Structure 1
Amino acid sequence: MDVLGIDEITYGADDLAACKTFFGDWGLQLKDESEAALVFETLNGCRVIVRRSDDPALPAAIEAGPTLREVVWGVSSAEVIERFTERLRALPGFVLAGERVGCTDPNGLAVRFQVSRKHDVEVECAQMNTWNEKPRLNQRSPAYERATPIEVGHVVFFVRDVAACEAFYCEHFGFVPSDRYPGRGAFLRCADVGGHHDLFLLQTPDPKAGLNHVAFTVRDIHEVFGGGMHMARQGWDTQLGPGRHPISSAYFWYFRNPAGGLIEYYSDEDQLDEHWEAREFEPGPTVFAEWAIEGGLDGNTRRQRNAKGPDGKFLTDKPKN
């Protein structure tokens, strides 16, 4: 397996103070701070960097305003870097800097590769009791007050040419299609064995380049809820969620991100191997979400935003006349 997943992402943003608060609330650990940049990490060492949009050190933006400027993919060994270096020399935007090699993808995004710096982590996760299997005995499932993301699980971009972008990642770096919206979208994973997608490419009817969202993996559905309600309590705006994606089976909650695009908590995506055959779907609301809550949940009442909470200690309590 050559590419292991996302190792680092870099945003170009206008309001670093807001981004510092946002990513802190999101559950990332602030590792370094300067006037030029903020550096955060997930539990497994995946880095999230925020720099000022006008920083000349940043690669060119694929769209106006705050957005993702660079994706660094982690690979399994230095030998892979050597092979990729020879492969990338003839591609647009080729760079070889220190331990990284990179180029520009057909959508204009700066793509880099390095030997992965992430580390394995062990976290306690909820077990799910089903009709057939009941592994959770004499214990309750957890309830989280907030989330602590494990890693950056996938990125999603609007692209001008989905076929060209899919071919770029599959032919040069060994990405594998998981599912498709024919002519409109491609779900790609880094290798045969892995989660449903590490990269999703989406071509709208009026093709454009841009960031749709960055997704952070959390340990289970309960952490999706706990993290989302903490963000709601802190005043951040839900775009959609919580909900569940039928295509990948993952539970999700999307928020608007001051660093650009949307940001997602997710868990419980499908795991695939070489026997999986990519499917084709017609885009539509019921394909995108089995269920979803518009505007999110209120972190205090635990109910849909702007819905009235209960007055008594129990739902059955009735107000006295």
Structure 2
Amino acid sequence: MSITGIEKLEFGVEDPALCSKFITDFGLSAAGEAGSHHYQTLSGAQVAFYPIDDPQLPPAFEAGSTLRRITWGVTDAAALAAVRQRLCELPDFSEQDGVLSCCDPNGMALRVAIGRQQPVSLPVLPINQWGDIRRVDRPSPVYQQATPVNIGHVVFFVTDLAQTERFYRELLGFQVSDRYVDRAVFLRCGAHGGHHNLFLLQLPGGKRGLNHVAFTVRDIHEVIGGGLAMNKQQWSTFIGPGRHPVSSAYFWYVNSPTGGAFEYYTNEDWLTENWQPRELEHSLTSFTEWAVEGGIDYTTRRQQKENIR
């Protein structure tokens, strides 16, 4: 299998105009015609917003504003044909204009298509560490706003972890990176890649739905700059900045009118076929080494004690 990553996220929302302001403040640029509520990252990965009752959207897997469909990219026509062979026996499978469609066991509508994202080359200054000095006579950058490079991963609450994991591993070729015992699994698209493109989490109450979507940025300074910029625009922080020990990533989560949260992140572990998945106990310390609850206020540069919006 040759899944390359997330190509597009489509949301059904109660207020498309508000969501468009959110995603513009978040750092994505308009894609398509004016007023279409389509936006893109630097690589061309897209986010689209539709009215919650738009008939072109598939049924929702939870009430309210939420993600309604996700498109995964593949490398080429041969890879698409290989995925077709795996999916074609599903009862809800369909194909139109080279795009495969179905639903996963959790009720999320999927599409698989040949990827259209473009490589992105950006200047990223190194970090100086003890015994490894790479940035000389140059200061680290300060960002006034984040500009996400691509869509890195999505996180779902699932009702049947084993069945949903099996779907992504056996039919789409995802690899296990790490696991929280009897609770969750981190999956990446292929053997070589970032720590996870998909995180499936089963709660004791059996809830299903969207937890968050995550966007890759250049460095820790852009995570901070992006989070402060969102606070300046009156968007509330869920949690961050902080660091996940399970993936080594620095993060900042912002509450979103689309449902769930949107995350800036960077510095995740890069894995190969030599990586041995870990069996971890799910706990606060295993998920978050440290984090600022409620964020940092743009004006005072101190911890934000109350949510803004």
Give the TM-score band, short-chain normalised: over 0.9
* 2:23 paired residue number: 23
Q: Within 1, Cα distance between the matches of 2:33 and 2:297?
A: 31
Q: Within 2, Cα distance between the matches of 1:180 and 1:188?
A: 9
Q: Secondary structure at the match of 1:19?
A: helix
Number of residue pairs aligned between Structure 1 and Structure 2: 306
Q: Within 1, Cα distance between the matches of 2:220 and 2:125?
A: 8
- Asked if structure 1 preserves the Cα contact closer than 8 Å seen for 2:181 and 2:282, the reply is no
Instruction: State which drifts further: 152-161 or 92-101.
Output: 92-101
Consecutive unaligned residues of structure 2, counting only runs of 5 or more, are none
* 2:82 paired residue number: 83
Cα-to-partner distance string for 1:117-175 (whole Å, 9 max, x where unaligned): 00001111131111121000011111101100000000000000111111110111110
The share of aligned pairs that are identical, in percent, is 50
Q: Secondary structure at the match of 2:32?
A: strand
Q: Secondary structure at the match of 1:293?
A: strand
Q: Within 1, Cα distance between the matches of 2:33 and 2:206?
A: 37
Q: Given residue 66 of structure 2, which amino acid in structure 1 is its aligned partner?
A: T
- Asked if structure 2 preserves the Cα contact closer than 8 Å seen for 1:128 and 1:135, the reply is yes
Consecutive unaligned residues of structure 1, counting only runs of 5 or more, are 308-321
Q: How far 1:83 sits from its partner (Å)? A: 2.1
* 1:311 paired residue number: none
- Asked if structure 2 preserves the Cα contact closer than 8 Å seen for 1:92 and 1:104, the reply is no
* 2:100 paired residue number: 101
Q: Is 1:270 matched with 2:269?
A: yes
Cα-to-partner distance string for 1:2-44 (whole Å, 9 max, x where unaligned): 0010011101101011111100000000123566x41000000
Q: How far 1:89 sits from its partner (Å)? A: 1.6
Q: Given residue 197 of structure 1, which amino acid in structure 2 is its aligned partner?
A: H
* 1:13 paired residue number: 13
* 2:247 paired residue number: 248
Q: Within 1, Cα distance between the matches of 2:121 and 2:164?
A: 35
* 1:195 paired residue number: 194
- Asked if structure 1 preserves the Cα contact closer than 8 Å seen for 2:66 and 2:260, the reply is yes
Q: How far 1:86 sits from its partner (Å)? A: 2.5
Equivalent residues in 2 for 1:120-199 (5 A)?
A: 120-199=119-198
* 1:239 paired residue number: 238
Give the TM-score of the pair, scaled to structure 2. 0.97
Q: Within 1, Cα distance between the matches of 2:101 and 2:86?
A: 10
Q: Is 1:258 matched with 2:265?
A: no
Q: Given residue 175 of structure 1, which amino acid in structure 2 is its aligned partner?
A: F
* 1:298 paired residue number: 297
Q: 1:7 to 1:159 in 2, by over 3 A?
A: same
Give the TM-score of the pair, scaled to structure 1. 0.93
* 1:314 paired residue number: none
Q: Within 2, Cα distance between the matches of 1:34 and 1:302?
A: 35
Q: How far 1:306 sits from its partner (Å)? A: 4.6
